[in-house]
Amino acid sequence: MKNTLKFAVIGGGSWATAIVKMLTENQEQIAWYMRSTTAVAHIEKHKHNPNYLSAVEFNTSQLQLTNSIDEAITFADYVIMAIPSAFLHSELAKLTVSLSDKIIFSAIKGIVPETGLIVGEHFNEAYGIPFENIGAITGPCHAEEVALERLSYLTIACSDSEKASIMASNLSCEYIKCKISEDIIGTEYAAMLKNIYAIAAGIAHGLGYGDNFQSVLMSNGIREIDGFIKKIHDMQRNINDSAYLGDLLVTGYSTFSRNRMFGNMIGKGYTVQSAQMEMNMVAEGYYAANSAFLLNQSNGAVTPIIDAVYTILYQHGEPKAVFNALTSKLD
């Protein structure tokens, strides 16, 4: 099935760059949209993204680089969305062409702030795309290790297993292995929620908590994720699978994790605004904490870690005091 369908990647960040790298192992040409004209010009001239994973060198003859989202969408049969969820609404507002005949896969680990929906639900409700034409690309996988060609694993979720297999086939290569899942809702929510727990892990580290506490935090975290997802979409799933537990662990522990980095800065005394400015990257968990907390007001899952992170980020809770109270709620 390789080399018969056309793919477009929407986004210019590290995940978008990593996905383009994977696709170029199997595809002759890929449309790659990024809004930065400077980045497009740099890649055309120097063959690497100047801002993300700059060590990855591309054969530019394989890339149809464009600043027009319409051009990229028109080119493709399969469209992979890989931009921060906070910017998805504004980027899609530029569209003047239809998405109705496209297969949409999301590599976004967050909730669309304007609608409070995960990306798959957003495309279904806002654009009328049926769920069988919507998929998700989740971890456990850091873009930085894809750039280094370290063995990595992806979970490709779609209710249509044939479309999931096509995407898996086109992302798989010597250093990428893909697993297929039908749990698109569960894997997307897990990918969103794990960023909140990574912020919690970072806050704990910044406050001086050690590995013993971190293990308890992650153990409670996966149980929270399980309870949260069951309230939204209860189906037969093994929460210990890589798409859930594995993704949580790599995001909570890895030095590549921007959400852990963000939390670490908060734990060390940075304000939310100062941490965001110094990182100069989007920590999806910041937006996810607000969305998950508000969504759970009606769902009623037991989520003391989400509540603690929300209190610190949105209610100006003092991290040391909030985590001191949290410790008595974990086991």
pLDDT digits (tens, 9 = 90+) for 220-234: 999 999 999 999 989
Of the candidates 224, 236, 254, which has an alpha carbon nearest to the alpha carbon of residue 152? Answer: 254
Please state the rounded mean pLDDT for residues 63-75. Answer: 97
The answer to whether 156 touches 168, Cβ cutoff 8 Å, is: yes
In tens, the pLDDT along 76-125 reads 999 999 998 889 999 999 999 999 999 999 999 888 988 888 999 999 99
The percentage of residues in the chain with a pLDDT greater than 70, rounded to a whole number, is 99
The answer to whether 91 touches 83, Cβ cutoff 8 Å, is: yes
The answer to whether 108 touches 121, Cβ cutoff 8 Å, is: no
| Pairing assessment for the beta strands 134-138 and 78-81 based on DSSP bridges | unpaired
* 140 prior amide bond cis, ω within 30: yes
Report the distance separating Cα 170 and Cα 166, nearest Å.
6
Position with higher pLDDT, 280 vs 7: 7
User: What single letter denotes the amino acid at residue 33?
Assistant: Y
Inform me whether the pLDDT recorded for 2 exceeds 60.
no
Please state the rounded mean pLDDT for residues 232-257. Answer: 93
1 falls in which pLDDT band (50, 70, 90)? very low
Mean pLDDT for all residues in the chain: 94
| Pairing assessment for the beta strands 134-138 and 152-158 based on DSSP bridges | antiparallel
Whole-structure pTM value? 0.91
- Write out the DSSP string of 148-204: TT--EEEEEEESSHHHHHHHHHHH-BTTEEEEEES-HHHHHHHHHHHHHHHHHHHHH
255 falls in which pLDDT band (50, 70, 90)? confident
Which of 94, 194, 230, 329 is flagged as catalytic? 194
> Is 194 one of the annotated active-site residues of the chain?
yes
The answer to whether 258 touches 283, Cβ cutoff 8 Å, is: yes
Inform me whether the pLDDT recorded for 172 exceeds 60.
yes
Inform me whether the pLDDT recorded for 3 exceeds 60.
no
Inform me whether the pLDDT recorded for 280 exceeds 90.
no
Question: What are the structural domains, with CATH classification, of the chain?
Answer: 7-182 (3.40.50.720), 186-329 (1.10.1040.10)
Of the candidates 192, 197, 180, 199, which has an alpha carbon nearest to the alpha carbon of residue 242? Answer: 180
In tens, the pLDDT along 129-164 reads 999 999 999 999 999 999 999 999 999 999 999 999
